[in-house]
């Protein structure tokens, strides 16, 4: 089944404890992206990647890192999480965003206390 798999679905962590949210797609998509969803603010892009080893900042990159060592994987790293990073996170991928929409993962609800 074609899908974007995010893990974990839910995570509660403490301030400052490094964490990684994994994202993997099995559709050979070139474009991958991370978004966060906060009430009243819509989906805001954190980082995106147009191909292996090519990543770019989105609108809210502060406090996050990403890597794209393989086409299928695009992990989101929070080196020192803070409570303002409590949010719902989505990973998404697309073959070509000008012709096909993004396929979204199931989301990761992160709480930083």
Quick check: 106 binds other proteins (CB under 8 A)? Answer: yes
Helical segments of 2-113, H only: none
Say if residues 29 and 93 touch (Cβ distance below 8 Å).
Answer: yes
Q: Which is nearer to other proteins, 15 or 28 (CB)?
A: 28
Supply 32's token pair. 């991958």
Which is nearest to 23 in space by CA: 106, 81, 109, 87?
106
What is the residue-wise DSSP string for 63-112? T-EE--SSSSB--EEESS--GGG-EEEEEEEES-TTTS-PEE---EEEEE
Q: Which is nearer to other proteins, 11 or 43 (CB)?
A: 43
Residues 23-42 that bind other proteins (CB under 8 A): 33, 35, 40-42
Quick check: 99 binds other proteins (CB under 8 A)? Answer: yes
Quick check: 61 binds other proteins (CB under 8 A)? Answer: no
Quick check: 73 binds other proteins (CB under 8 A)? Answer: no
| Shortest reach from residue 69's CB to other proteins, in Å | 21
Interface contacts to other proteins, rule CB under 8 A: 33, 35, 40-45, 48, 56, 58-59, 90, 97-107
């Amino acid at each position: 089944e074609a899908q974007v798999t995010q893990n974990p679905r839910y995570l509660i962590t403490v301030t400052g404890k490094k964490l990684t949210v994994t994202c993997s797609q099995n559709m050979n998509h070139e474009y991958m992206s991370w978004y966060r969803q906060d009430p009243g603010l819509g989906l805001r892009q954190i980082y995106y990647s147009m191909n292996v080893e090519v990543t770019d900042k989105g609108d809210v990159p502060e406090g996050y890192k990403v890597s794209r060592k393989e086409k299928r994987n695009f992990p989101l790293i929070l080196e020192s999480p803070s409570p303002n990073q409590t949010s719902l996170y989505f990973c998404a991928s697309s073959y070509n965003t000008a012709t096909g929409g993004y396929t979204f993962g199931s989301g990761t609800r992160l709480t930083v206390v």
